[in-house]
Amino acid sequence: MADEVKNQREVTVHAVVDRIEDGDWAVLLLGDDERGRADFPRAYLPAETREGTHLRLRIEIDEESQRRAEEETRQLLERLQQRSRSKGKKDFKL
């Protein structure tokens, strides 16, 4: 299954709400075997979610968001280099 997941651009994961802690966090058991575990902000779950609720989580790579973040980082680095007059003198990599 791990190789199968590596080759997909999107993955769907089964989850069950094990418990709600402090009213703000849901402890999720992940996978068909429920062996994985994640603490998840309750605010991101449907309002009717409670202990025992079964969920389907879709996880995908957000290429557009990643591209924007890389561009913002590149622009910030360029501004910092210009401000410090170090452009071309240091080897910076993104």
Using one digit for the tens of pLDDT, what is the confidence trace for 12-54? Answer: 999 999 999 998 999 999 999 999 999 999 999 999 999 999 9
Q: How is domain 2-61 classified at the CATH fold level?
A: OB fold (Dihydrolipoamide Acetyltransferase, E2P) (2.40.50)
Whole-number mean pLDDT of the chain? 88
The reported pTM is 0.68
- Plot region of 82 (φ>0 → left; ψ -120 to 50 → alpha; else → beta): alpha
Sheet holding 10-21, edge to edge: 36-41, 25-30, 10-21, 54-60
Q: What is the pLDDT of residue 16?
A: 98
Q: Where are the domains of the chain?
A: 2-61, 62-94
Look at 86 and 73; give whichever has higher pLDDT. Answer: 73
